[in-house]
Structure 1
Amino acid sequence: MSETATEHSLPSDINHEPLSAAGSKKIGIVVVHGFTGSPWSVRPVAEFFAEQGYAVEMPRLPGHGTRWQDMVETTYLQWLDEVDRAYWRLKADGHDVVLFGLSMGGGLAIRESIRREVAGTILVNPFVQDPTPALRFAKIASRFSLTTEGITSDIAKPGVDEGGYLRVPLKAAHQLHRLGQDTRPMLGALKNPVLYFRSDQDHVVSDSSHRYFMKKVQSPIEFVSLNRSYHVATLDYDAPVILEKSLEFVRELESR
C-alpha cells in the first residue's frame, strides 16, 4: 500500500475521542491507549469504570486518532505529558490514581507510576523492550522513508477493528524506541502494586518485554494469563476477564 493511498482520516464510525468522567469514589483511573492506536482500543475499560462510579480520564495521545501525518513530529515526552495532565486532573479532584495502560500505553503508565504517587498500575501486554532489533534503526531509516507498514488490529476475535494507523511514521517509531530505552533502567523504582495481563499469543509486543519486566520489577505483581486473545486484548475474547480482574484490583486498593 502506498503512502499516498493512506493519507486520510481514520474511519468515522470509530470513536477516537478522549473521555473524561467524574466520579465520587476514592480512586480515579487514567486509561492509556497504545502506539498508533487511539482511545477506541481501551474505551470499553474507561466506560466500564465510569459506569461503576469511578472518575476516569482517558486521554488521546498527541498525534494519535486522526491521521498518521499528525504523528510524524510528536515525541514520547509529549505522550507522557498528556498522561501526566490526566493524572493531575484526577488528583485535583481529590482522587488516588490507578494507571491502566495497553501496549505502549503500558510503558507510559509505568513511567507515570514511577515519577508520581499512584495507588496501583494495571498493564495489558505492556511495551518495555523493542519487539524487533530494526526499531533501534528507525531514526536512520527515517532519512530515506517517511513511514513503514503499520501493525494494527492484532485481535483473535473476528471482525474487530482497533482503528489504528495503517502506516507508522519512522520518526515516531524512533520515539517508541526511546521510550523503552529510557524506561528500562527505571523499572527497579516501580514500587506500587501491579496487575499484569499477558496474552499467550501476542504478535506485536514480544516476550522479551515480558521477561525483562518480570525480572527487573520489585513491586508486588498479580499476573493474569490471557489464553484466548492477541495483543489488543481489551477488544478481544478476554476483555471480560480484564474488566473483572481490574475491578477486583481497584476495589482491593480502595479497601486499604
Structure 2
Amino acid sequence: MFLRLSVLLSALVLLTSCAVPPDSPRFQSSGSLPRHDQASFDQYVRDTRAWIADNRAFIGDDHQREIALNAPFERRPDTLAKRGILFVHGLGSSPWYFTDMTNAMAEDGWLVRSILLPGHGTRPADLMLPGHEDWEDAVAHHTQLLADEVDELWLGGFSTGGNLVTSQAFKDDRVDGLLLFSPGFYSDSQYLFLAPAISYFWDWLDIDDEDNIVTYQSLPSRGASLYYRSVNAVQKNLAAERFDKPVLMTMSQHDSVLDPDATLDAFQTRFTHPASRFVWYGDTPQHLDDPRVTSLTSYLPDRRISNFSHMNVLFAPDNPYYGEAGSYTMLENGQGDLEPPDDAGALWFSAWGHKEAEKYHARLTWNPYFDDLLDNIRDITGD
C-alpha cells in the first residue's frame, strides 16, 4: 500500500476522478479510535485488544490470530530489565512488524514494547479518523510509561514510525538512542506536499484486495496526509539541530518509497555521534568516506533476490508469515500484466516495481542479513 504512494500522488495531479471503494466494512470507518493514554501498558494492551475484537473487519477465520498480530505487545526478559525500547510501526502496518526483533532483544535483557498507532489494526478506513497529534501523543505517552520503568531508554521505528520516534527523541532528553529502519524522512515523491489538500477532495488513493492480516493494502488519502505531517515535523527537527546520541539506521538503495541518498546524507550530516551506524543494502555509494556506513550487497542470485525492498529489513528468514518459507507471499509487486509462475520456486524477490525480462518478482519480505542486523544493534547499544 504505502509502497505505491509516490506513483499514486503523481497520478492524481493528472486525474479528475478518485478510487471508489466497494460496499464493504473494510472501507467504512469504525467511527471511533481506542484510547492510548492508560496508566499502565498492561491495561493499554487489554483495552486495545478488546477494541480490535469489536471493530476489526476480519480477513480470515482465525480471529484470535488476527487480533494478536495487530495488537500492541511487550516482551520481558527473564531477569529485571534496566534497559527498554519502544517500537513504532509504519503507515498501514502493525506492531507485529517488530516481533522478530523484540524476541531477540528480550533474550538480550531488554524490556521491549511495540505500540499500535491510532487508525491501525482494524480496517483501512480507520486511517481517516486520527490526526497527526494522535500519533505524536501515543508515542509521547508510551515513551513516558517506559521511561518510568527502565534506567536506559531507546526508541525504534520503521518508516513513518521512524519519523515519529525521531521527532520524540529531539524533544525528550530521556531518550538514549534510536534504531531506525527505512526511516521515512524523505519521500521520493515531489507531490507529497499535496497530500493534505487531496484528502479534502478524495477519500481514497488506492483500493486493493485486503488479504494481508498484518498490513493494510488500501490507502485512504488521509493516511498519505498523516505521513506528510510526520515528514514535515521530522525535517524541521533535522534542519534545526543535530542529533548527538547513538543511532542505527538502515536503508535499501532500491527503496521504492523514499529517497535513499537524501537519507544517507542526513545521517552523515545530522546524526553526529561517532558510535552511530548506517547499514546500506545495495551497491556501495560513490565517494563514501564515512567509516560509520556499512554497505551490503542486495543482489543475491543464489536466493533469487534482485534487490531489497522498503520493508524486508525487519523480518528473519524463518518468520512464519513473511519469511523465506512463510505462509504469505506478496505477489502484487508492480509487475504490470505479468502473471506469477505456477512454480513458486521460479519466483524472484525485490523492491516494489523492479522488473527484469523473463522473471516475476514478488516483494522481498525477509532480511537475509537479519542476524547481522541483530549484531549491529548489539554493537551500537553496547550489549
TM-score band w.r.t. shorter chain: 0.7 to 0.9
Contact between 2:73 and 2:113, CA under 8 Å: does it hold in 1? yes
Instruction: Quote the Cα distance in structure 2 between the aligned partners of 1:150 and 1:98.
Output: 36
Contact between 1:114 and 1:191, CA under 8 Å: does it hold in 2? no
Residue of 278, 281, 289 corresponding to 1:223: 278
Deviations 1:92-149 (A, max 9, x none): 1133111111111111121111111211111111011233122211222223320112
Residue of 58, 78, 94 corresponding to 1:38: 94
Change (3 A) 1:139 1:5: same
Q: Does residue 168 of structure 1 match 2:214? A: no
Contact between 1:129 and 1:212, CA under 8 Å: does it hold in 2? no
Q: Does residue 4 of structure 1 match 2:22? A: yes
Change (3 A) 1:76 1:243: farther
TM-score (norm 1): 0.84
Instruction: Quote the Cα distance in structure 2 between the aligned partners of 1:53 and 1:10.
Output: 35
Contact between 1:130 and 1:209, CA under 8 Å: does it hold in 2? no
CA displacement at 1:55 relative to structure 2: 0.7
Deviations 1:26-53 (A, max 9, x none): 2101111101111122221122212333
**In the alignment, which residue of structure 2 is the partner of 1:243?**
374
Contact between 2:155 and 2:179, CA under 8 Å: does it hold in 1? yes
**In the alignment, which residue of structure 2 is the partner of 1:201?**
254
Q: How many residues align?
A: 244
- Stretches of structure 1 lacking an aligned partner (at least 5 in a row): 152-160
Q: Does residue 83 of structure 1 match 2:214? A: no
CA displacement at 1:215 relative to structure 2: 5.4
- Stretches of structure 2 lacking an aligned partner (at least 5 in a row): 1-18, 27-56, 282-297, 299-306, 316-365
Residue of 177, 185, 193 corresponding to 1:128: 185
Q: In terms of mean alpha carbon deviation, does 238-247 or 1-10 score higher?
A: 1-10
Deviations 1:160-199 (A, max 9, x none): x683212212122112112111221212242211111112
**In the alignment, which residue of structure 1 is the partner of 2:329?**
none
Q: Does residue 17 of structure 1 match 2:91? A: no
1:153-164 mapped onto 2 (5 Å cutoff): 163-164=214-215
Q: Flag the structure with larger Rg.
A: 2
Change (3 A) 1:81 1:196: same
**In the alignment, which residue of structure 2 is the partner of 1:232?**
311
2:245 partner amino acid: N
TM-score (norm 2): 0.58
Q: Secondary structure at the match of 2:175?
A: coil
Contact between 1:21 and 1:55, CA under 8 Å: does it hold in 2? yes
1:169 partner amino acid: P
Change (3 A) 1:5 1:224: farther
2:372 partner amino acid: V
Instruction: Quote the Cα distance in structure 2 between the aligned partners of 1:179 and 1:211.
Output: 19
RMSD: 2.5
